[in-house]
Structure 1
C-alpha cells in the first residue's frame, strides 16, 4: 500500500491534487488506515494517471466522478463507460482537427510576416 506522498512522488502529482480528487469523489475505491490516511494499491495508480490525462484534455470532474462510480458497480456498466470515453475521444479528434487547421493558417501568416 502506498501513501499519498508516495503516490505523488511516483506519479509527479501534487499531494493536494490527489486529495482534491478524493474529495471530489473520483477515488471511491481507496482505502484508509486506522488514522484515516489514504492508502493506494499499486494497480490503482492507473486510475490517477487516467484522471490526470482526462483532466488535461478537458473532461469535467463530474464526468470522471460518474465513471468512477460506474466502475465501482462492476462489469454491467462497461458499455456506459466505453460510451463516455468514446464520446470524449471523438471530441478530442475534433479539437485536434481544429488545431491542425489553426496551425496551418498560422504557418501561412508567419511566412507572410517573414517576407515583409
Structure 2
C-alpha cells in the first residue's frame, strides 16, 4: 500500500478532507506526517487506522466514545479488556438494530410487492384542512399482524 494524500484518503474512505483534519486535531487519528511541501501523506498504518475509525463510526459509535477508545489503545495492553468490552457492547447494539430492522424490511418489501396504496382524502373545511382517514384505516387493518381496537372520539 502506498502513501496517499488527503484527497486520495478522502475519496477512498468517503470522508471530507475537513473531517480527516478534524479527526487528527481531536486525536482520533495519530499525527499525520507531512512531506517537504507541507502536504499530509497517509501511510499504510494510518490508512488501516482510518479504516477502523470509519467502520466504528458507521456502526454508530459516537466520536466521543471513539476518542475514549483511542485513549485506551494509546495506554497499551493493560486496557485490552476495556477495549474488548467496548466492542462487545457495540456489537450487541448493532445486533439489536439489525433485529429491529428485519421486520420493517420484510414488510415494506411486501407492501411494494402488493402495490399497497393507502388513500387519504384531504377535505377543505371552513376551519382548515381535514384528513379523511376512513379508507386509510381499512387498508392498514388488513395488514396488521394482530387485531387492534380503535376508539375515535371527537
Q: Is the 8 A contact 1:70 1:81 kept in 2?
A: yes
Partner of 2:116: 113
Q: Tell me the alpha carbon deviations over residues 22-55 of structure 1, each in whole angstroms, 9 at most, x when there is no partner.
A: 122212x325458986554321211211111221
Check whether the contact 1:32–1:39 (CA below 8 A) recurs between aligned residues.
Answer: yes
Query: CA, structure 1 residues 12+104, in 2 after alignment: closer, same or farther (shift >3 Å)?
Result: closer
Report the equivalent of 1:41.
Answer: 43
4-13 or 45-54, which deviates more = 4-13
Counterpart in the other structure of 1:25: 27
Larger radius of gyration: 2
In terms of fraction of residues, the more helix-rich structure is 1
> Which residue of 1 is the match for residue 57 of structure 2?
55
Q: Which runs of 5+ in 2 are unaligned?
A: 118-138, 140-154
Gaps of 5+ in 1: none
Q: 1 or 2 for the larger relative contact order (CA 8 Å, sep ≥6)?
A: 1
Q: 1:80 to 1:38 in 2, by over 3 A?
A: farther
TM-score, normalization: structure 1?
A: 0.78
Q: CA deviation at 1:5?
A: 3.8
Q: Number of paired residues?
A: 114
Question: TM-score, normalised to structure 2's length?
Answer: 0.61
